[in-house]
Structure 1
Amino acid sequence: MVDTFHIPKVDARTQDCITDEQAQFFLDNGFLVVSHVLEGEELARIQAEMMQQVELGMAGQNDDPDYMYGKGTKSGTQVFRRVEYVIDKSDPNKVLLGHPFILRSVEKLQGPNFIPTWDSMVLKMPDEGIIVPWHRDAEKPEGCTDPRPIFNVDFYLDPSDLKSCLWVIPGSNRWTRAEAIERCRREGFDTSDAIPVPLEAGDVIFHDIEVLHGSPSGDGNALRRTVYYEFRPGEIEAEFGPHTREYLSLKQQVLLDCLKRRAEADYVQDKEPFMYAPTGEFALTETVAPSTHRYPHREYWRE
């Protein structure tokens, strides 16, 4: 474990967006921690809604591909580990997508034409969290020279300690693919060049899709629920995919709808709402209420 690495303190209560210095830390290291993003009634509502999803998953949803399971290392039984499309499954998660601190920070890193893509919840079930081996979420598209990052925003609904927290390898987002593959091939969950990132409920991690991260299997761990929203620069997605151009337009309308829902929510007190104002080919000339908030990825892959 790396003992001397300094993580900057970013507090969403005292600023309305990440600073230039904090943005540079993220670009250099592949992750950034922001505390106190979710508080009070908003946090409580999301926790309650996602506990309903935990209960559904524990009851067994083997016929629904949105609910995913893994083999528990202690019991050997199927253990609930992930659920997809959580924005569609929860109104508070729709409101969450419109969070102004998050969207201003995404815009700072990706520009005005950012697109929300994936949304899910990943779990460490009590006392038997499924191991997440060292990995990159994905690689930047081959041939892409755009320096803007593709990244996830990870909303922590429960505290995480050394038994359940995420581990990251700072700076590995700048490694070559070969270097990342070699590191991931090491046996066991080696943390010699990594740091743990314990958090409190309501805290957030921004993590680049290319930063190496993971977490060991749980033994005596408490429940850890993390909601993930991924964002991509529209220009990169339009040129390289993997989604079609139609998908990007649909997800822009989902974002507009979620911003409207946040403005109408009586349990959030944002000082200033975020204004989504994409430009160029991504500029919006009309608002169309989405018929759904769930657009299955496989139906919008490029040929």
Structure 2
Amino acid sequence: MGTINVEIPFVDAAAQNSITEEQAQFFLDNGFLVIRNVIVGEELKLVQSEMQALYEKGAAGVDDNPDFMYGVGVKSGQSIFKRVEYVIDKSDPMKVLLGHPFILRSVEKLQGRNFIATWDSMVLKAPNEGIIVPWHRDAAVPEGCTDTRPIFNVDFYLDEADLQTCLWVIPGSNKWSKEDADKRCKQPGFTTEDAIPVPMQPGDVIFHNIEVLHGSPAGDGNPLRRTVYYEFRPGEIEAEFGPHTLEYLSLKQHLLQDCIERRKNASYAQGETPFNYEPNGAFAIRAPKPPAQYRYAHEVYWRR
């Protein structure tokens, strides 16, 4: 776990249909992958505008809404808006974004055709009050799971992330034992001697494994940084281990299909080759239907 030197591959969504086998292998080995130019042009402006409105709503304070989360500002000591859940429910352009064909083809390459879209959130670093995100893993692979396909987040950057605000990762830490990961996370302060920074531009994306160690330092004079997170899980892992019920998986399949159809009709997505979502076997969709809602609260569908 010493000093590392990793050359990050250049992945250009504007020039490829999906990630390549070599890029997929880099992700599997290192736990993260950077993809440039995923959201561009009219779509980028629209998504930025929608999420700015959501940021301003949360920054103004939202009473008794569990979807809006707050932390303590590093400079003011005041309550600072840091996260909002279920962004797909709150914005039609975020529904369209879930249907992005480059992203879904790449997810399918890594997880297989029965993948499930699970979480959707926006995480923030407020201007001049960037709250530290300590070294952590997002979650653990379910105990007893021998399926080696990765569970991961797709991080859409809506603002530039420089060295003040960007994500830092420890390449390969997705393969560490729980003991080694816990030991690293318990080190005092936000040390980076074994990590690398991942600066980003608006419209860029990071795939990051839920078990790769990552975080970001506290901001001081930092600009606003908005990042939208969509998590994906192989359906077979979800079906066997959870955390969601089988009903949740079916509901989220219909939601994803709806978002793919919405993208086909979006003006800024014309000319794309749409993603064809065809889960099979026990996950096959027998009778497509519109989703009843776009906010399937996780706690309602936890396995007991």
User: Within the alignment, does 1:82 sit opposite 2:78 as a pair?
Assistant: no
Equivalent AA in structure 2 for residue 127 of structure 1: N
SS at match of 2:269: coil
Equivalent AA in structure 2 for residue 4 of structure 1: N
Aligned residue number for residue 45 of structure 1 = 46
Superposition TM-score, scaled by structure 1 size: 0.99
Superposition TM-score, scaled by structure 2 size: 0.98
Superposed displacement of residue 169, structure 1: 0.3
Aligned residue number for residue 213 of structure 2 = 212
Q: Distance in 1 between matches of 2:236 and 2:300?
A: 21
Aligned residue number for residue 268 of structure 2 = 267
SS at match of 1:7: coil
Contact 2:31–2:209, Cα closer than 8 Å, also in 1: yes
Q: CA 1:2/1:13 → structure 2, altered by over 3 Å: closer, same or farther? A: farther
Aligned residue number for residue 279 of structure 1 = 280
Superposed displacement of residue 62, structure 1: 3.3
Contact 2:4–2:195, Cα closer than 8 Å, also in 1: no
Superposed displacement of residue 271, structure 1: 2.7
Equivalent AA in structure 1 for residue 88 of structure 2: I
Aligned residue number for residue 26 of structure 1 = 27
SS at match of 1:52: helix
Q: Distance in 2 between matches of 1:176 and 1:234?
A: 24
Contact 1:85–1:118, Cα closer than 8 Å, also in 2: yes
Superposed displacement of residue 2, structure 1: 5.0
Where in structure 2 are there 5+ consecutive unaligned residues?
Answer: none
Equivalent AA in structure 2 for residue 47 of structure 1: Q
Superposed displacement of residue 4, structure 1: 3.2
SS at match of 2:261: helix
Q: Distance in 2 between matches of 1:76 and 1:270?
A: 49
Cα deviation 1:119-170 (Å, max 9, x = unaligned) = 0000011111111100000000000000000000000000000000000000
Q: CA 1:13/1:2 → structure 2, altered by over 3 Å: closer, same or farther? A: farther
Equivalent AA in structure 1 for residue 140 of structure 2: E
Task: Give the 5 Å matches for 1:29-108.
Answer: 29-108=30-109
User: Within the alignment, does 1:198 sit opposite 2:199 as a pair?
Assistant: yes
SS at match of 1:117: strand
Cα deviation 1:213-256 (Å, max 9, x = unaligned) = 00011011111000000000000000000000000000000000
Cα deviation 1:161-180 (Å, max 9, x = unaligned) = 00000000000000001110
Equivalent AA in structure 2 for residue 80 of structure 1: F
Q: Distance in 1 between matches of 2:103 and 2:153?
A: 11
Contact 1:100–1:270, Cα closer than 8 Å, also in 2: no
Q: Distance in 2 between matches of 1:156 and 1:225?
A: 6
User: Within the alignment, does 1:126 sit opposite 2:127 as a pair?
Assistant: yes
Aligned residue number for residue 12 of structure 1 = 13
Equivalent AA in structure 2 for residue 206 of structure 1: F
Q: Distance in 1 between matches of 2:3 and 2:258?
A: 43
Equivalent AA in structure 2 for residue 208 of structure 1: N
Cα deviation 1:159-206 (Å, max 9, x = unaligned) = 000000000000000000111000000000010100000000000000
Cα deviation 1:242-288 (Å, max 9, x = unaligned) = 00000000000000000110001112234311000001000011111
Percentage of pairs with the same residue: 68
SS at match of 2:66: coil
Aligned residue number for residue 246 of structure 2 = 245
Aligned residue number for residue 237 of structure 2 = 236
SS at match of 1:112: coil
Q: Distance in 2 between matches of 1:14 and 1:22?
A: 14
Where in structure 1 are there 5+ consecutive unaligned residues?
Answer: none
Equivalent AA in structure 2 for residue 285 of structure 1: R
Contact 1:37–1:203, Cα closer than 8 Å, also in 2: yes
Q: Distance in 2 between matches of 1:61 and 1:131?
A: 22
- Structure 1 window deviating more from structure 2 (34-43 vs 269-278): it is 269-278
Q: Distance in 2 between matches of 1:202 and 1:270?
A: 19
Equivalent AA in structure 2 for residue 42 of structure 1: E
Contact 2:164–2:219, Cα closer than 8 Å, also in 1: yes
Aligned residue number for residue 147 of structure 1 = 148
